[in-house]
Amino acid sequence: MSDRKRYVVVGTGSRARMFIDAVAGSQKDVAELVGFCDTNLGRMQWHNDRLAKEGHAPVPTYADTDFDRMVAERKPDRVIVTTRDCFHDEYIIRAMRLGCDVVTEKPMTTDDAKCRAILETVGKTGRRLVVTFNYRYAPKRSKVKELIAGGVIGDVKSVDFEWLLDTSHGADYFRRWHRQKVNSGGLLVHKATHHFDLVNWWIAASPTRVFANGALSFYGHRTGNGPAHRGQRCRECPATAECKFYMDLAGSEGLKGLYLDTEQYDGYVRDHCVFGDDITIEDNMSVSVRYDSGAVLSYSLNAFMPWEGSRIAFNGTKGRLEFDDVEKTYISGQGGTAEGETLAQGARIEVFPHFAPSYRVRWEEGKGGHGGGDPRLLNDVFRGAGDDPLGRAADHVDGARSILTGIAANRSIATGQPVEIADLVKLPRR
């Protein structure tokens, strides 16, 4: 009998590819793919067709309604959850109740009630939940953690954090399921979970109080930025020649295979107009956060910028650390591009000690996606994190802390009031 761990993947879209290829490739000595589950038969088939070209036997496929039957028949040790964000809780909880451990993509879930239910299930079942925060593993961000943990700027008292999404990657959130808050929690949950997780991890603190503002100010039909005569989706639009946001779904093998050719199964439209009238998420957000360490964060996220990346500064009792990062542009599922790749010469870490000259800090890029971060993350997920001095592997508590800032920010935008994290979820002690 093989001692490889048995994995099923639920939600076989674009992101699932990294996990599927890892189990079928670099991790196959310790892991085995035993089932796919999705609402869309065509997308599961697309992955099986790819695997067949590599000589892999077809992975048994199950509809979402047959998830429990899949677990009973395929007996997985672990379930990898890469569905739309709003369904993560459902599969995490069902998998744990059926006796499986879970690896979930970020965000762990999208609202506080679902977060409470997940934490309660972890407590009751004792199963393990890993949240795959790949940003932590990028060597440049690991270096920032190492420097701050090493005390180069003393105790961090405040953080200025600006994240820019460009008119390619940023716009793409407004074409897909992400455009509706009910699916994604908005960008303050879906996207900023990465950023709030980084801050929690970098400064080793938990958020306690949040105040936020946000608006849809560039995309959406009310802004008046779209073409006067436009369609509901790019494929049916009369303004393709004039619109800078036109996307040709048929023009990329990945987009065509995963989404256009599979519309018949679930009617999911991947190329909605970014100026549509049914967008419920913000594209311009500003958040103020207080932490249990006494530190404060000033955060902004804009999704219609001419370049993609971040400007982050940590102000400490012994000086300041600046981390700037300009990233390559990217479209999910398109192929040929990967999220979060730094442009050559595009990143800078600089330490400004009190009463001494500043100095730049270098880091070593590795082989593989995200400067060698992806292979390291996959090794941690499939082989165990071991004794990582930077503590990059993330669990359900990290997952909860990272989404609660965004969930509180959503509530603050809706009410105009500050929100106490403890009023949303009581985080378990470690």
Ligand X SMILES: NC(=O)c1ccc[n+]([C@@H]2O[C@H](COP(=O)([O-])OP(=O)(O)OC[C@H]3O[C@@H](n4cnc5c(N)ncnc54)[C@H](O)[C@@H]3O)[C@@H](O)[C@H]2O)c1
> Which residues of the shown chain bind ligand X in the complex (CB under 6 A)?
10-16, 37-40, 43, 64, 82-85, 87, 105-106, 134, 190, 332-333, 339
Q: What are phi and psi of 363, to 5 degrees?
A: -140, 160
CB of 123 to ligand X, least distance (A): 23
Q: How far apart are CA 430 and CA 418, in angstroms?
A: 27
Closest CB to ligand X among 112 and 197?
Answer: 197
Closest CB to ligand X among 84 and 396?
Answer: 84
Closest CB to ligand X among 85 and 327?
Answer: 85
Residue spans of beta strands (DSSP E) within 82-205: 101-104, 129-131, 156-166
CB of 13 to ligand X, least distance (A): 2
CB of 117 to ligand X, least distance (A): 16
Strand partners, 35: 8
CA distances from 31 to 8, 25, 158, 373 (A): 10, 9, 42, 20
CA distances from 315 to 127, 130, 299 (A): 39, 31, 14
Residue 270, C-beta contacts closer than 8 angstroms, at least 6 positions apart: 175, 176, 249, 255, 258, 259, 260, 333
CB of 268 to ligand X, least distance (A): 6
Place of tokens 């069902």: 94
Strand partners, 73: none
CB of 12 to ligand X, least distance (A): 5
Q: How far apart are CA 426 and CA 70, in angstroms?
A: 33
Q: How far apart are CA 279 and CA 292, in angstroms?
A: 35
Residue spans of beta strands (DSSP E) within 306-392: 308-316, 319-327, 342-353, 359-360
Closest CB to ligand X among 12 and 310?
Answer: 12
CB of 415 to ligand X, least distance (A): 26
Closest CB to ligand X among 226 and 371?
Answer: 371
Query: How many C-beta atoms surround the C-beta of residue 19 within 10 A?
Result: 24
Closest CB to ligand X among 36 and 299?
Answer: 36
CB of 103 to ligand X, least distance (A): 11
**Which one, of 164, 183, 425, lies nearest residue 310 by Cα?**
164
- As given in the structure block, the two tokens for residue 326 are 């300009």
* Residue number with the smallest Cβ distance to ligand X: 13
Residue spans of beta strands (DSSP E) within 92-170: 101-104, 129-131, 156-166
Closest CB to ligand X among 16 and 34?
Answer: 16
CB of 211 to ligand X, least distance (A): 25
417, 196 contact by CB (below 8 A): no
CB of 245 to ligand X, least distance (A): 19
Closest CB to ligand X among 46 and 291?
Answer: 46
Closest CB to ligand X among 12 and 302?
Answer: 12
- As given in the structure block, the two tokens for residue 64 are 């979402």
234, 247 contact by CB (below 8 A): yes
CB of 132 to ligand X, least distance (A): 6
Closest CB to ligand X among 11 and 35?
Answer: 11
CB of 29 to ligand X, least distance (A): 24
**Which one, of 15, 85, 110, 16, lies nearest residue 400 by Cα?**
110
Largest distance between two CA atoms of the chain: 66
Closest CB to ligand X among 38 and 112?
Answer: 38
